[in-house]
Every structure is written in structure tokens, then in C-alpha cells.
Amino acid sequence: MARHASAAVTKSSIRSMVIAMAALTLFVVAMIASYSGAFARPTLHHLTVAVAAPEQVVEGLRGQDALAVNAVDSGAAARQQVTRREADTAFVVSPSGEMTIYVAGGGGKSVATAAESVGREVAAHSGLTATVEDVAPTSPADPSGTVEFYAIIFLSIGATLGATAIGYLMGRVHRPVTLLLRTVTLAAYSAVLAGVVTVYVDGVLGALTGHTWLVFGALWLYSMAVGGAVTGVAAAFGTAASALLTLFLVVVGNAAAAGPVGRPLLSPFYATFTKIVPQGSGVSLLRSISYFDGHGAAAPLLTLAAWGAAGCLLAVLATAFRLNYRGRYERFTCRDRAVLQPRHLSPAD
């Protein structure tokens, strides 16, 4: 009998191991497909260009499918659109026949390189002399402009795993006080994560300097948005749903963050998710703070706030539902006990 039980356990263990290995293999393949699809062969799909130039130059640019042209009246206005993140680059043609190409390395080094390439091609075709000016250069410690991307990506791992661990250790939320305690714990943990990452990228690397508290705030908000979303989904729909959300964020969200190549060079599939997933908003927010004096920060701030608020709302609704369900269950249980209670006869009977 013991021999059969041992064999059964062994078969079950082997089956579980095979399933786990197959799942991990699929995960690895999905990660490779996602990153290679997003970063391996970057191609210019949509570049916003502010142009102050003669009409024939403007019309020639409008004829290129990959370019979205903002025609402006002056070179200062064109340059300003780049510094305010309203355009990826700017082409300004002077009366003397020179074309200045304004790029922003802080918005993505690969995007700046692509913009320069397009600008030089236009200048050569029009017989103009081209010069390049970087209006938002990256720091010497981060010449490729990718530290903010890696900071967000690895912060995501800490935020999701931390939220999962907090949920596991504290159990399901059945009372408002437990929900409050979990929220405070997540906020404190997010502050620790954000603080450590800020110290490293600012104090140790010297990559994102000059805006220490703003960088810390952005990283804290990002960690709260991701951790809050995972916590809320787990509270409302269970562990399996939060695992699926985490898988989506890791496989699709990381690639859609547009870190190494920039959104204009991503495929349309990943570019669609860049402004939706928290990773894309986190990278964009850090770049706005570090290189553009806060310009362009409103949209990513709202996106991250929406992720965090959605998670909070789901957790509150799940807690309220459980409280309501438990109250009704106890009320019906007490009523049923009263109805089914055996009848006690008085001595007179």
C-alpha cells in the first residue's frame, strides 16, 4: 500500500515539475520575443518635428509618412517645442541657408540620433548646411540616457514582489483597519525602495542629479502605482489575476517603456502601450524631471495616479463586499438559529 502511495506522490511531483518548467520556458520565450520585437530592429515610425523653414521645405517634410510636422513662425518657437516636449526635434532654416537641427538627448539618445539623421538628409536634399544642437543633453555619467529606464524596470520587480509578499504575510483584507495597515506598509516599503534607488542613481552613479527630491517623489509614486495595482487586483480577483497582471507588466510593459530606443522608434504595437503601462509613464516622468524642467510631466503623473487609484478602489470595494457579505451571513445565521432552536416546554405544559 505504501509503495503505491509513494509512486503516486512521485508521479504528481514529476507532473508539477514538468508544468513549472514548461511555464518558465514559455515565460523566457515571451520575454525574448517581447524585447527583440521592441528593441532589436528599431525603425522610425512617428517623429514629431517642429519646423521653421520656407514652405517648400515644410511641404517636403509633410510628404514623409513617418513625420508629423508642426509648422511654426520662428526658430525660437521651434526650439521651445523641443524643450517643452511638444516635439521630438526641430528644423530651423535661416535666410543665409543654414539649417539648425535641435535634438533632445534626454528624451532618448536613439531618438535624437534618428532626428539628426533625418535632418541632415533634408538639409543635403535642400542644399543647406546643417548644424546640430542638443537642447536637453544627458549627464556625463549617463551618456546613453538609459539609467532612468533601468531604474524603473528594476523598481518594478521590487514593487510587484513586495506587494505580493505583503499580501501573503498579512493575509486577505477583511476589515478596514487591515486595509489601512496594508496601505501604510506598502507606502513605507515604496518609500524605502524609492529612497535606495534615488541614492544610487543620484549619489552613487551621478546620473540623475540636481533634482533629488523630485526623482525620489517620482520613484515613490511609481512604486505605489505598481504595488497598489497588484494589491488591488489580488484583493478583488485573487492571486491568479494579480499574477497575470504582473506577467503582462513584465512582458509587455517593460518593452513598451521605450527606454533604449524611444517611442518614435517602437513598433506600433508597443508604442500603443507606452502611454498606458506604468513603465512608460515612469520613464517619461523621470526624463521630464531630469532633462526638461518638468515639461511633459502632467500626462505620466496622471497615468501613474490612475493606476494607483484603480488599485486602491478595487481593494476598498473588495473589503466592503466582504464586510457586507459577512454581515449578511451572520445575520441570516443568527436568524436561522433562532428559528431552528428547539422548543423548550414550560413546567405548566
In tens, the pLDDT along 270-306 reads: 888 998 999 999 999 999 999 999 999 999 999 999 9
Q: What angle do CA 208, 139, 110 make, to 5 degrees?
A: 105
Among the listed residues 5, 25, 46, the one whose alpha carbon sits nearest the alpha carbon of residue 270:
46
Residues 252 and 119 in one domain: no
**Residue 135 DSSP label:** S
Under 8 Å between Cβ of 314 and 292: no
Least confident of 10-19, 81-90, 145-154: 10-19
Residues 89 and 189 in one domain: no
The average pLDDT across 87-96 equals: 94
**What pLDDT band is residue 93 in, cutting at 50, 70 and 90?**
very high
Query: Domain for residue 77, yes or no?
Result: yes
C-alpha cell at 249: 507588466
Last residue of a domain, one of 73, 101, 134: 134
Under 8 Å between Cβ of 292 and 212: no
Range of the domain at 305: 147-329
Given a cut of 80, whether residue 322 has pLDDT beyond it is no
Last residue of a domain, one of 101, 134, 167: 134
Residues 311 and 196 in one domain: yes
Given a cut of 80, whether residue 2 has pLDDT beyond it is no
Query: Domain for residue 32, yes or no?
Result: no
Q: What is the pLDDT of residue 336?
A: 52
Q: What is the pLDDT of residue 104?
A: 95
At position 276, the amino acid (one-letter code) is I
Q: What angle do CA 37, 41, 43 make, to 5 degrees?
A: 105
Query: Domain for residue 41, yes or no?
Result: no
Query: Domain for residue 139, yes or no?
Result: no
Residues 125 and 207 in one domain: no
Residues 175 and 123 in one domain: no
Residues 205 and 290 in one domain: yes
Query: Domain for residue 25, yes or no?
Result: no
Residues 117 and 158 in one domain: no
Distance CA 292, CA 288 (A): 5
Q: What is the CATH number of the domain that holds 123?
A: 3.40.50
The average pLDDT across 78-83 equals: 96
Residues 255 and 311 in one domain: yes
**Residue 251 DSSP label:** I
For residue 275, report the phi and psi dihedrals to the nearest 5 degrees. Answer: -90, 0
Q: What is the pLDDT of residue 227?
A: 93
Given a cut of 70, whether residue 7 has pLDDT beyond it is no
Distance CA 47, CA 229 (A): 32
Query: Domain for residue 289, yes or no?
Result: yes
- For the entire predicted model, the pTM comes to 0.84
C-alpha cell at 322: 466582504
Better pLDDT: 172 or 307 = 307
Residues 210 and 289 in one domain: yes
Query: Domain for residue 33, yes or no?
Result: no
Q: What is the pLDDT of residue 348?
A: 44
Residues 166 and 121 in one domain: no
Domain count, the chain: 2
Residues 168 and 125 in one domain: no
- Alpha helix (H) residue ranges in 238-297: 239-248, 254-256, 268-274, 278-291
Residues 59 and 197 in one domain: no
Query: Domain for residue 317, yes or no?
Result: yes
Given a cut of 80, whether residue 33 has pLDDT beyond it is no
Last residue of a domain, one of 85, 101, 134: 134
Better pLDDT: 216 or 272 = 216
3-state SS class at 222: helix
**What pLDDT band is residue 67 in, cutting at 50, 70 and 90?**
very high
User: Would you give the distance in Å from CA 311 to the centre of its chain?
Assistant: 15
